[in-house]
Amino acid sequence: MTIYIDPPIWPGHGHLWSHLISDRSYQELHDFAARIGIPRRGFERDHYDVIAERYAAALAEGAQPVSSREIVVLLTEAGLRRRRQSRLAQY
């Protein structure tokens, strides 16, 4: 089991955020997020958005720190990358 997290550098809603991913399965990711108190509503397509204040908890639980670019590569290599649909594709 490997869970990865990038640095909390992404601004939004008055906070900085990280992305938390698994290179194995979404279920592994959901289980890990639940253990560190991240609500399911934080899951977006293929990752959890994690507020900066929870970053240390993710590392303490065993998440491996990686760059934001590595997050995309790891998801893609694992076949777990889900791209955002364009608005035109939704119609």
Whole-structure pTM value: 0.86
- Domain extents in the chain: 3-90
Sorted by sequence, the CB contacts under 8 Å of residue 9 that are 6+ apart come out as: 16, 18, 68
* pLDDT tens-digit series, residues 24-82: 999 999 999 999 999 999 999 899 999 999 999 999 999 999 999 999 999 999 887 87
* pLDDT tens-digit series, residues 8-19: 999 999 999 999
pLDDT of residue 83 exceeding 80, the answer is no
C-alpha 49 chain-centroid distance: 5
pLDDT of residue 89 exceeding 70, the answer is no
